[in-house]
Every structure is written in structure tokens, then in C-alpha cells.
């Protein structure tokens, strides 16, 4: 990003037309002088030093915004001078420009001007073009993938984080300007006559139109619906600013409809209230996971974290703001609804779903039933009085845990403890859940670094409705190295369910550093997390044609040989899925997942039986009418499939 980025330069020029802005800017003569020199293309100060270095890389481009924030804050909405100032800001297109910049930094589509003659459109285009050029150099890594055959990349995670920091500083500055624009003294406002209040209402209606047309509230919702504490912890100032904006919007009845859910929307928006509640829940779960035990150490086995730990304090500092904002928004919506009976009713997505309302919709019933089973703790280990760790269930990494305890590395670091708490908080709210495929996690009651996972096979794949068990261990070096994960559902090491899932349990993924990939696909301590790994397994490994996951085999995808090989491969996977991911799981459900297995197969019984029947009929048709495709291996897979289906039917009858 340039020393004086285009949006700062354009904003500075527009703000100078605003009454009182120049005086406010000149209140700090030194920074004002540096700013004027920088906007003129001069990067050397009168003292001979580099202006950006002397003033700080972030401060000068933000100076126009901080000065405007100070001006709005000093001259509040509830006085006549404040009304004139805000009217001028609307008419000059300043608020239009600010919201445009916010959208671009929020990586939404470029702003489309409401008024074709407005100054907003060319400004937005200029900024967007500049951002498009930046996009060629910096982009967000996916963090997942198998590799592309090339390990060359110009992606630099450190540079990416610097760019994100700069962008976020501008987002915060703009949000703070909007907050100060909306601030008012309530007692003064109540004393105003009706004519003045009507003038204020007119200004706010124009602002509401800008918010609505620019999808400003969509930007707010996208940020607030974030349930990754790991990500939230890196952006505390932005979340404080977001909550401040929401709180001030909620104080104005004219703007309240922007925050209410639109139940008529085809997307079924839930409104800001539910997003704030979810944000609060995530943070409380995280802080609860960090609570020390009676021994003075954290339950995950890591060394004790000082109660004054700054990272924890920063996250905890959001709670008062969240509670205050939530109360103001709920009260504002309730008050508005009392006056406007046709206002949409709030939708509470966290409320228990009445299954009787969805008797005709098995998918919704499944999601409603399984949601509460997704994340939980289980007594995987027990610590004896002699400080010996006993494993109560089969766990692949038991020896690795004991070895870490023996050599003294098990305590890890405070950073590891924080990250584990953040991972647990994110998993408790973010795990994939659908009738097609879901993920379930059990974390040890005493140690956050020990987890077990069930992934249900996605519909339309040879893994459909099977339950695949994985063991996960976060080693002492985490997050500098990825977690370790092993497939347990291997038919006693007899089945290789996928080219990326070995029969000994190895999971090959770039993000786990177990497969060659581009730098942006590999594990990054700053940007990667366990949820990405789980989604990668679910969507990149458990696919409809797993044969072509084998490196090089994709070249035969559209060839007769490739399709025949894929057919035989999937036939074997299907029979193995029925045998080991269905039948065996019903007979011997993994410890901690008994309720998941019982509920999954009970609710999916009819679907699974129909699915198995379709598989059998499809293969019988191939054997009967397409004998050239029916190799000896294929016929053998069919016979095994029929055998396993018969046994599965008997087990399902017991549910």
C-alpha cells in the first residue's frame, strides 16, 4: 500500500470542503504539515527525514479520518451546528465515500452509486481499481488442498498480515467516524422542538438509504457472525468499533429497521441480535476453557497462564461492550415494534426447534436432533494421584502423550494454551452440520490437546452416511506445527478408504504438512486452524470419485480406462463403508460417540436402506448388462456389498 493510499488522498480532499475540518486538522500543526507534504508527493520532512518513518507507517494516512471523527464527536448531532455539519457531510458525499471505502476494505463488491451524478461512483471505481492491482500481489491463502504439482509461490504470510493490519486500521478509523456521526446527547435531543427532530430524521433517512444500498449492514453481519475466537482475538479493536457502531445505530428509531431480521428474505437473515449473542457465547466458552483448575494449572495440561495475560484480557474486554450493545439493540427493536406493529419478528436461531413442526422434513429433523451432539467433552484420560495419565479409551496417540509427559515437554506454552482454548471455542459453534454430512468432536475433559472426531460421509459419494472416526493430538509444539490426525476406521488396517487415507490411518493433506503443496496450502501458525482441517477431510477427501485423488490419475478422468478404474475403486469403497463405517459402528460405537451413532442411524435408517438398495441394483445391472465393466474385483465387491447390506438391515431393525 502506498505511503498515502488513494482513498486517504481522495477523502482528505473531500473533507477539506467540510466546515470546521481544516481547523480541527490544524490543531496538530506538525502532523498537518507532514500530511500536506505527503499528499503533495513529498515524502521528506523539512528536517530531512522520511515522513512515513518519523510519523509512523499507519498514522498519517489515517489522519483525515481521525480528524473528522474528532470534529463529529466535538459537535454532536443534538445541536444545531451538529445538524448543519452532518447535513453537509451527506450532501458533499462524504458519508457515501466512507461507506464505499468500508465495503472495499471488507472485500465486498465495489459500490454502485445510488445517484449516477454522485461523486461516489468515480471515487469508488478509482479505489477499487487500486485494490484490484493490490490483489495480484496479496491474497488470502485457502489453507487447504492436496498440492498442484508446483511448490513455487510469491505468497508471503508475513506481508499478508501487514497488509491486513493496514486495512483493518482503516476499517476501524472509518467505523469510528460513523460512530461519532451518530453520537448525540439524549437530554439535549429530547428538549428539541418537533421541527428540528424532523430535520434530524430526514438526515438519518438519507444515511439509512446509503447503508441499505451499500449493504453496510451485510458487512456488519459478516463480521459479527464470526465464531472463530482465534480470528476475533486478532481483531479486538475492529470488534470494539463494530459494536460501537451497532449500539449508536440502535439508538435512533429511524435506523432500527436496519438491525432487525428480515423474515421475508429468501436468505432468512437472523438479524444482528443473534449474531451478537453468538459472539458472546464464543467468547464465554473460550474464557471458560482458560479457567485454571484448583492446582493452578489449566485443565488442558499446559502451564498456568497469568490472570493478567494481555491476550485474555483483550478478549474479555469485549464482553461489557457486547452486553451493553445487546441490551440497547433489543430495547431499541422492542420500542420500535411497539410503535410499528408490522415490523418483522425476531428469529432466535439458538432456540430449540420444535421437531413436531418439521415432521414432514427429515433433513430439518436431523439437523435439529444432531446439533446438541456435535461438540462435547468426554473422559478420554484420567490423571492418578501419582500424576500418571491413564487412557480410558483406545487412543492412537497415547504413547506420544506419555512420551511428552515423560520428557517434560507436555506443558507446552501459554500460546499453545490460548490457541487450544480458541480452537475449542470455535469448534463448539462452527462444526459443519447438515443432513448430507456432519462433523462431531469429543474433547478430553481434562486436556484440550486430546480430541476424537466423527465425520459422516457426504451424500453422493461412496462414503455416504458412513461414520469415520479420527484421533487428533495437538503436540507441544502446536501451533508452530499442525495437529496430528489419524483415521481409526480402517477395518483393522485392511482398508485404504482413499488415496489420501492410508490403511494404517495416515491422512494426507497439504495443511497437515503430510503432502507436498504450495506454501499457501500448507500449515500456517498465524492463519490455519483445526476447523480447516476437518472441512478439508469432509470436502476434499471424502469425494464422489476418490480414485482420481491419486496424483497423476486425474489425467485419465475422461478416458474409458480411468472411468473403469474409478468404478472398481468406488465399488470397493462402498462395500467397505457399509462394513466398517456403518455395520461395525452400530455394533461397536466409538467411546464418547454412542449417542451420535444411535441418533444418526436411527434418523437415517430409511435413507441408508434406500441408498444401499440403489448401490446394489446399480452394480447388479452392470454385471447383468455391461459384462465388460464387471471385472473379477468388481463382482467380488458386489458380493461383499450384498452380504454386508443383509447384516446392516438386521442391525438397523434393532434401533
Q: The C-alpha cell of 208 is what?
A: 439509512
Q: The C-alpha cell of 283 is what?
A: 467468547
- Cα–chain-centroid distance for residue 158? 21
> Which residue matches cell numbers 456403518?
582
> Could you tell me what percentage of the chain is helix, strand and coil, using 3-state DSSP and rounding each to the nearest 5?
55, 5, 35
Helix axes 59-74, 80-91, angle to 10 degrees: 140
User: Distance (Å, rounded) from C-alpha 177 to C-alpha 72?
Assistant: 7
Encode 221-244: b = buried (16+ Cβ within 10 Å), e = exposed: bebbebbbbbebbbbeebbbbbbb
No. of helices (H) and no. of strands (E), the chain: 25, 7
Any bridge partners for residue 381, and if so which?
A: 391
CA distances, 213 to each of 177, 242, 269, 635 (Å): 19, 19, 17, 61
User: Distance (Å, rounded) from C-alpha 67 to C-alpha 335?
Assistant: 34
Torsion of CA 595, 596, 602, 607, to 10 degrees: 180
Report CA torsion sign: 250, 251, 255, 260.
positive
Nearest-Å Rg of the Cα atoms of the chain is 29
User: Distance (Å, rounded) from C-alpha 375 to C-alpha 381?
Assistant: 17
User: Distance (Å, rounded) from C-alpha 521 to C-alpha 510?
Assistant: 6
C-beta separation of 52 from 35 below 8 A? no
Name the maximum alpha-carbon separation found in the chain.
90
Has 508 been annotated as catalytic? yes
> Which residue matches cell numbers 432500527?
256
User: Distance (Å, rounded) from C-alpha 366 to C-alpha 355?
Assistant: 9
> Which residue matches cell numbers 495440561?
301
Give the N- to C-terminal CA distance of the chain in Å, as an integer.
62
Tell me if residue 578 falls in helix, strand or coil: helix
Ramachandran angles phi, psi of 262, nearest 5°:
-100, 95
- Of residues 223, 282, 467, 508, which has the active-site annotation? 508
User: Distance (Å, rounded) from C-alpha 47 to C-alpha 405?
Assistant: 59
Q: Which residues are catalytic?
A: 508
Amino acid at each position: 500500500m502506498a505511503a498515502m493510499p488513494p482513498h486517504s488522498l481522495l477523502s482528505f480532499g473531500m473533507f477539506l470542503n467540510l466546515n470546521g475540518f481544516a481547523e480541527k486538522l490544524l490543531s496538530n500543526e506538525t502532523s498537518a504539515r507532514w500530511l500536506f507534504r505527503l499528499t503533495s508527493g513529498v515524502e521528506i520532512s523539512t528536517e530531512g527525514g522520511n515522513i512515513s518513518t518519523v510519523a509512523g507507517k499507519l498514522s498519517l494516512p489515517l489522519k483525515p479520518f481521525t480528524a473528522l471523527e474528532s470534529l463529529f464527536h466535538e459537535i454532536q448531532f443534538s445541536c444545531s451546528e451538529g445538524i448543519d455539519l452532518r447535513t453537509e457531510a451527506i450532501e458533499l458525499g462524504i458519508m457515501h465515500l466512507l461507506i464505499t471505502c468500508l465495503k472495499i476494505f471488507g472485500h465486498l463488491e465495489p459500490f454502485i452509486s445510488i445517484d449516477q451524478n454522485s461523486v461516489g461512483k468515480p471515487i469508488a471505481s478509482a479505489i477499487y481499481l487500486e485494490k484490484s492491482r493490490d490483489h495480484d500481489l496479496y491474497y488470502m491463502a485457502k489453507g487447504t488442498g492436496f498440492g498442484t504439482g508446483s511448490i513455487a509461490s510469491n505468497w508471503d504470510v508475513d506481508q499478508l498480515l501487514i497488509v491486513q493490519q493496514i486495512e483493518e486500521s482503516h476499517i476501524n478509523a472509518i467505523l469510528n467516524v460513523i460512530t461519532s456521526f451518530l453520537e448525540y446527547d439524549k437530554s439535549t435531543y429530547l428538549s428539541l422542538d418537533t421541527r428540528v427532530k424532523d430535520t434530524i430524521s430526514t438526515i438519518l433517512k438519507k444515511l439509512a438509504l446509503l447503508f441499505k444500498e451499500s449493504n453496510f449492514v451485510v458487512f456488519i453481519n459478516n463480521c459479527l457472525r464470526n465464531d472463530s475466537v482465534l480470528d476475533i482475538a486478532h481483531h479486538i479493536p475492529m470488534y470494539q468499533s463494530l459494536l460501537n457502531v451497532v449500539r449508536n445505530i440502535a439508538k435512533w428509531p429511524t435506523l432500527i429497521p436496519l438491525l432487525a431480521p428480515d423474515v421475508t428474505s429468501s436468505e432468512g437473515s437472523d438479524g444482528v441480535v443473534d449474531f451478537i449473542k453468538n459472539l458472546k457465547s464464543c467468547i464465554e466458552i473460550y474464557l471458560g476453557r482458560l479457567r485454571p483448575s484448583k492446582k493452578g494449572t489449566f485443565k488442558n495440561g499446559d502451564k498456568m497462564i497469568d490472570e493478567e495475560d494481555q491476550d485474555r484480557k483483550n478478549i474479555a474486554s469485549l464482553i461489557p461492550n457486547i452486553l451493553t450493545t445487546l441490551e440497547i439493540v433489543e430495547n431499541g427493536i422492542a420500542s420500535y415494534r411497539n410503535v410499528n406493529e408490522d415490523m418483522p419478528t425476531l428469529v432466535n436461531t439458538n432456540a430449540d426447534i420444535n421437531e413436531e413442526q418439521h415432521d414432514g422434513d427429515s433433513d430439518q429433523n436431523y439437523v435439529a436432533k444432531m446439533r446438541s451432539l456435535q461438540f462435547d467433552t468426554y473422559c478420554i484420560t484420567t490423571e492418578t494421584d501419582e500424576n500418571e495419565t491413564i487412557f480410558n479409551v483406545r487412543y492412537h496417540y497415547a504413547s506420544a502423550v506419555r512420551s511428552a509427559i515423560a520428557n517434560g515437554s507436555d506443558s507446552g506454552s501459554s500460546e499453545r494454551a490460548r490457541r487450544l482454548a480458541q480452537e475449542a471455542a470455535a469448534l463448539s459453534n462452527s462444526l459443519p452440520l447438515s443432513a448430507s454430512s456432519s462433523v462431531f468432536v469429543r474433547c478430553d475433559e481434562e486436556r484440550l490437546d486430546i480430541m476424537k472426531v466423527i465425520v459422516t460421509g457426504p451424500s453422493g459419494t461412496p462414503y455416504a452416511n458412513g461414520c469415520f472416526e479420527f484421533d487428533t493430538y495437538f503436540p507441544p509444539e502446536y501451533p508452530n506445527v499442525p495437529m496430528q490426525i489419524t483415521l481409526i476406521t480402517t477395518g483393522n488396517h485392511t482398508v485404504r478408504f482413499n488415496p489420501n487415507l492410508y490403511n494404517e490411518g495416515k491422512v494426507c493433506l497439504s495443511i497437515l504438512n503430510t503432502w507436498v503443496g504450495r506454501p499457501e496450502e500448507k500449515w500456517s501458525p498465524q492463519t490455519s486452524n483445526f476447523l480447516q482441517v476437518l472441512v478439508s477431510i469432509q470436502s476434499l477427501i471424502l469425494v464422489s470419485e476418490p480414485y482420481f485423488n491419486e496424483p497423476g490419475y486425474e489425467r485419465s478422468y475422461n478416458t474409458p480406462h480411468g472411468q473403469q478404474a474409478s468404478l472398481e475403486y468406488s465399488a470397493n469403497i462402498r462395500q467397505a463403508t457399509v462394513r466398517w463405517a456403518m455395520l461395525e459402528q452400530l455394533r461397536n460405537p466409538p467411546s464418547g460417540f454412542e449417542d451420535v451413532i444411535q441418533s444418526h442411524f436411527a434418523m437415517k435408517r430409511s435413507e441408508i436402506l434406500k441408498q444401499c438398495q440403489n448401490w446394489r441394483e446399480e452394480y447388479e445391472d452392470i454385471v447383468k448388462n455391461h459384462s465388460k465393466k464387471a471385472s473379477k474385483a468388481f463382482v467380488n465387491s458386489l458380493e461383499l456389498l450384498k452380504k454386508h447390506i443383509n447384516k446392516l438391515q438386521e442391525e438397523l431393525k434393532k434401533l
